[in-house]
Structure formats: C-alpha cells, structure tokens
Structure 1
Amino acid sequence: MDLIRHLECFVAVAEESHFGRAAARLGIAQPPLSQRIQRLERELGLRLFERTSRQVTITKAGTLLLDEARELLTRSEALTATARRIRDGEAGLLRAALPPDIAGETVAAILAGFRQRHAGVELELHELPTAEQLTRLASHDLDVGLIHHPCDISGLELGPVLRREVGVLLPRQAPAAALDTVTLAALDGHDLVVFPRSGAPALYDDILTTCARNGYTPTVVRQGQGASFVRGLILSAGAVAFSPTDAHSTHAAEGDPDIVWRPLAGAPLTWRHSVAWPRGRSDAAVRAFTEATTRALLDAAAGGAEEPARPLYLRPASEYWL
C-alpha cells in the first residue's frame, strides 16, 4: 500500500467532509478514492469516517489520527524536496579535488567563491594529482576535479581550459639569475626538480621533451613537490624547478634571500588546466565549483590565463595542442 498517497486521501476527505469534493481536489475519480479510504481503514483496523447518503463525518479515531497524518505528509514533502535538491546538486556533498601545485591563496579563493555561489552544499576538497583524480572520477569516488593537460579525458566533460605561464625557480647565485628572462638552454648544467611522473605522466613527459627541444637536458631529474622540499633541493643541489607565473610563485621568490623566480623567454612551458567531471554529472554544485575555480585561477594569473581559441585534439591516451 502507498501509505503517503492513502494518507493524502484521508486528509482530503476529512477536510472536505465530502467524497466528491475531495476527489476533485486530488484529481481522481470518486470510486478509487472510496476504495483507498476503505483499504486504509482495513490496514489500520479503524473506522475513519461515518458515511450516509447525505454526508461524511470523521470518527473520533479519525480525528485523533488527523494531526499525525498531516505531519507525516509535511515530512514526506520535505524529504522529497531535499532529495530533489541533492539530485540537482543544490544540497548534499560535493567531492572535489585540486592538484598539489595550486597556491594556498587560490585554494582559499576557490572555497570562498564556491560558498558564495552554493552555500547549501558541503564541499569535501582533496589534494590529488591528475592521475589519481582521473582514477577516482572514473570510479565515481570523486565528483569533480581540476586536472592538468595533457591527459586522457575520455568519459569526462570539461570546463574552460585555462593557461598558467610557467617560470623557473633557481639559486640566486646562478648565472641565469642575473637575467630578466631565462631561456631553457641557459639552465643547462642544472638538475631539474619536477613532480613525480606517476602524478601526471603525459605532462611530465611533455615537460622533459620541451626542455630537450629547447637545449636543456637536466643533469639529474629529481622528484619533489612540497615547497620546502623543492627549496631544499634547489639550495643543496644547485637545481632548478618550474613554477607558474602567479602571485604565489613570484611573491615567495621575492621574499627568499637564496632563490629567485624568473620568467622563461618565449613562454615555452605552459600549465593548462580545466575542471573535469564524469559525463552527465553536470549539476548546480559542479557548475558552481567550475565557476569558482575558473575565476580564482584567472585572478591568480593576474589576467594571464585565458580560454584558448584553438580546440583540443585527442590522441589515443593524451591531449596535445596543435
């Protein structure tokens, strides 16, 4: 028995004191309404109405149940409304991820922007490299994430693809530190600190390929990601590391007596990001996260990031800009 629907019939008859008017209010015929009331009475083991040819009168038992029936209907409507908001991404939990190279100020801006756009949804934010994000998006253990390109985006939908120009962090005493802009070839002889390849294999390979094509083959490729660890490698091993052109990178270097940040001549390296989510999952919460993240990245890049005019062309397991 559909208890909620039967209680709706009970309340309508009680309030109208007439089967015909109650049936019209519910949008059903009178015989099915009478049958539902009879079935409800059988299920409850109580007589709810006294019926005559002229009128319908609620019984004492019916009167005692009426307020509780109304409360159950109200709670049912509230539950249905909440379920609808969760389904449409207007309430509930959104599991999101950002890559480790996003500056703390940008993370804070994303969180604030999301709350402003969608305060009704709890945001569970994780720090995950692109490869792990893709795995979790595929298994539906993650709802949305900010990924690095190039990568395999099969089965995903994307927000705007945004660019962050990349510069280099190097020891202040290095000869290249005296230059206003640094070519990749000028880094020859230095070790390179780069994120672990497992985090974003296609991007890792693209970085080393671009370096080799521009005259820089690192003496040693060292893996590191945390800012303090990378700084230690730069200072102890005379290494260099690539870092985006945003307020976080430049301000951190300006306040460091031992490390400087310099732009790369000709912008040979560019980090490209976009928010990604499983195809068909685009709801209000995902849209709010996409908008907040896109705005925060644009602001962090001081206008240097933009949605590219050229399309993405997919290759078997990666993306390349042609």
Structure 2
Amino acid sequence: MAVAEESHFGRAAARLGMAQPPLSQRIQRLEKHLGVRLFERTSRQVALTDAGALLLTEAREVLARSEAFMATARRIRDGETGLLRAALPPDLSGETVAALLAGFAEAGLNGLDLELHELSTAHQLAGFAAHELDVGLIHHPCDVAGLELGPVLRRELGVLLPRGAAAAALDEVPLASLTGHDLILFPRAGAPAVYDDLLTTCARNGYTPTAVRHAQGNSFVRGLVLSAEAVALSPRDTHGGGGPGADAPDEGVVWRPLTGAPLALRHSVAWPAGRGDAAVAAFAESATHALRTTAGATPDLPTPTLHLRPASEYWL
C-alpha cells in the first residue's frame, strides 16, 4: 500500500521507517509469493500494474480487518469483554428491535461492544461460514449445519391488501380469495427455502398469484399494494395490524389475518457450534423475549421446520 500510494520506493521506505533496499526485497518476495507482478519499475518512478491495482483494494480490506482484530485483542488484554457481532432480519418491527436492545443492555455485560447488522438469513449464514458473525436471528427452514439454535418461535402471517379489495371486508381472509392479485414477497435470495415454502403453501390453499413482485421496505410494500392492486404477506406487528377487523395505519391499506393461520415465519437465534458464551446467551434471551412480548411470537416445535425438503412443489 505504501509503495502504491507514494509511487516511489524511497518515499515509501521513509514513511514506513525502514531502509529502501529491504523494502524492495520484500516487494519482490511478495510478487514471487503471489505469482503476479505488482509494480512496473523505472529509474524515475514506480507504477502499479493492472494486477497490482486490482489487489490494492483487497490489501486495504485485509489491513483494515487486521487492525480491527488487533483492537479487539487489545480490549480483551485490557480486561474488556470484546465485540459481539450480531444480526437481525429486515422484517422485524422497530418495537421488537428496541425491546431486544433494551433487554441486552439490562444483561449488564460491561465492556462488551454490540455490533448489530440488518441481514437476511442467507447473508447471516454466509457470515457464520466466514467467521464474520457471532450470533443472529434466522428464518427456518434453512441449512443449520454447524450451528446451535435457541427456541424456535412462530409469527403468524396475515395479508396486507387494498382497502377496496373484496377480501378487505372479511374479518379473516381465505388464501383462495386472493386469486387474481399479484403477491409481494421479499427477494428469494434472502431466504430461498422460506420463499418456496410460502408459495407452496399458498398454492396448496388455492392461491396461485398471477405474478410475484419483490420488495422489503414497509413504504415500498405499501406503495405496491396501493398502486398495483397487489397483496403482501406480513406479520401483524410489522404493519400495525390489531385484532380481527383492525386496519393498518395507512387509510388505503388494511391488514387481515388468514383463515386457519396457514402461513407463518419461524425464527430462532443461531450461533456457531461451541461459541455459546455469556454474550451469545444474553443476546438469545433478549431476542426471544422481545419477539414474544412485542411481536406476539409463540413457541413452535422444531422438528418439522428445521429440515429442508429436496425441492419445492411450487415452481415459477
């Protein structure tokens, strides 16, 4: 990085507090180790090769991660607990997130820094695999190999639909009555097995959407419901649904429960096997309590929800 930024071995050596010959030798050893030429050298200047320019971005990221690693090690050395890297899915309400953070703060883990991210299940699983995440709240079903899990909780899904739709007059909406409406779902890449299960259950219950539209943000979802005569599957807490017959806050949109509660989101806190320390336990307890008290989540048996079927019955 120093040689690339200075474009001169002498200036780079001075910046690094070393002599120029050893710096030249180290660059040569690095090029030999990587198997690519990083710099074009002339008597007057040093310029990056195309390969060097591509690897410079990676080098900056490696150094940044190294510095973060050393900072965490220093905190641990000095008697602090360190850093807990955690993630939540995008479909949680603000009240649930706030309750989780309040509960975690009450755990009294002094010196612990909580680094909280908003990530889909797929991105959380990738984070666990890359050792970039310590704990997260995931959707089932998904591949939980190598993970330990907290209690599985169920959040029933209702339907968000235009106030003028015929089904909006019902206290409970059969899935089959949504025929003719497009369906709004989260992007499939975020939780493929959940996505396929939702569509399969809709089809089993008589609703095959004319088209599937993708959205995640509440405002965008509401806009599509209002303008496109589409419907969205949504937990009660996310869109402000009350009891049967209660309306969502937007005057043009209503939320209704589904007859027989055939659809649900299933969550549990997950962490890499063997990583279940006091910080992870505090996060898991706080997340479980927040979901039960603010989102109406109820316990669910894990057996039918934690195993992936070979393929979905529903294909687009």
Q: 1:317 to 1:157 in 2, by over 3 A?
A: farther
Pick from 192, 204, 226: which aligns with 1:213? 204
Take 2:262 and 2:291, find their aligned partners in 1: how far apart are those partners? 20
The corresponding residue for 1:193 is: 184
Pick from 274, 280, 291: which aligns with 1:280? 274
Residues 229-244 of structure 1: pairs in structure 2 closer than 5 A: 229-244=220-235
Asked whether the equivalents of residues 161 and 308 of structure 1 are also in contact (C-alpha less than 8 Å), the reply is yes
Question: Quick one: which amino acid aligns to residue 301 of structure 1?
Answer: A
Residues 132-151 of structure 1: pairs in structure 2 closer than 5 A: 132-151=123-142
Q: As a proportion of its length, which structure holds more helix?
A: 1
Take 2:224 and 2:82, find their aligned partners in 1: how far apart are those partners? 43
Take 1:315 and 1:136, find their aligned partners in 2: how far apart are those partners? 20
Take 1:253 and 1:153, find their aligned partners in 2: how far apart are those partners? 37
Question: Quick one: which amino acid aligns to residue 104 of structure 2?
Answer: F
- CA offsets 1:74-121 (integer angstroms, 9 cap, x no match): xxxxx99954966xxxx2110000000000110011111111114421
* Stretches of 4+ aligned residues off by more than 6 angstroms: none
Pick from 102, 111, 114: which aligns with 2:101? 111
Q: 1:313 to 1:236 in 2, by over 3 A?
A: closer
Take 1:197 and 1:103, find their aligned partners in 2: how far apart are those partners? 20
CA RMSD of aligned residues (A): 2.5
Question: Quick one: which amino acid aligns to residue 314 of structure 1?
Answer: H
- CA offsets 1:271-321 (integer angstroms, 9 cap, x no match): 10000000100000000000000000000233x512437565534779xxx
Q: 1:153 to 1:173 in 2, by over 3 A?
A: same
The corresponding residue for 2:284 is: 290
Secondary structure of residue in 1 paired with 2:261: coil
Pick from 120, 144, 165: which aligns with 1:129? 120
Secondary structure of residue in 2 paired with 1:250: coil
Residues 23-34 of structure 1: pairs in structure 2 closer than 5 A: none
The corresponding residue for 2:155 is: 164
Secondary structure of residue in 1 paired with 2:142: coil
Q: TM-score, normalised by structure 1?
A: 0.68
Asked whether the equivalents of residues 162 and 306 of structure 1 are also in contact (C-alpha less than 8 Å), the reply is yes
Of all paired residues, the percent bearing the same amino acid is 63
- CA offsets 1:23-72 (integer angstroms, 9 cap, x no match): xxxxxxxxxxxxxxxxxxxxxxxxxxxxxxxxxxxxxxxxxxxxxxxxxx
The corresponding residue for 2:260 is: 266
Q: 1:159 to 1:219 in 2, by over 3 A?
A: same
The corresponding residue for 1:56 is: none
Residues 177-192 of structure 1: pairs in structure 2 closer than 5 A: 177-192=168-183
Residues 54-133 of structure 1: pairs in structure 2 closer than 5 A: 82-83=76-77, 91-120=81-110, 121-133=112-124
Is the deviation greater in 257-266 or in 243-252? 243-252
Instruction: Give the gaps of 5 or more residues in structure 1.
Output: 1-78
Question: Quick one: which amino acid aligns to residue 172 of structure 2?
Answer: T
Asked whether the equivalents of residues 158 and 258 of structure 2 are also in contact (C-alpha less than 8 Å), the reply is yes
Take 1:165 and 1:230, find their aligned partners in 2: how far apart are those partners? 18
Question: Quick one: which amino acid aligns to residue 116 of structure 1?
Answer: E
Take 1:279 and 1:248, find their aligned partners in 2: how far apart are those partners? 35
What is the CA distance between 1:256 and its match in structure 2?
1.2
Take 2:309 and 2:254, find their aligned partners in 1: how far apart are those partners? 39
Take 1:282 and 1:84, find their aligned partners in 2: how far apart are those partners? 22
Take 1:266 and 1:160, find their aligned partners in 2: how far apart are those partners? 24
- CA offsets 1:219-271 (integer angstroms, 9 cap, x no match): 11000000111011001100000111337531695321100000000011011
Question: Quick one: which amino acid aligns to residue 269 of structure 1?
Answer: L
Q: 1:81 to 1:313 in 2, by over 3 A?
A: closer
Q: 1:93 to 1:271 in 2, by over 3 A?
A: same
The corresponding residue for 1:305 is: 298
Q: 1:208 to 1:284 in 2, by over 3 A?
A: same
What is the CA distance between 1:122 and its match in structure 2?
1.1
Structure number, greater radius of gyration = 1
Secondary structure of residue in 1 paired with 2:298: coil
Q: 1:279 to 1:309 in 2, by over 3 A?
A: closer
Q: 1:238 to 1:298 in 2, by over 3 A?
A: same
Aligned length: 236
The corresponding residue for 2:67 is: none
Q: 1:100 to 1:312 in 2, by over 3 A?
A: closer
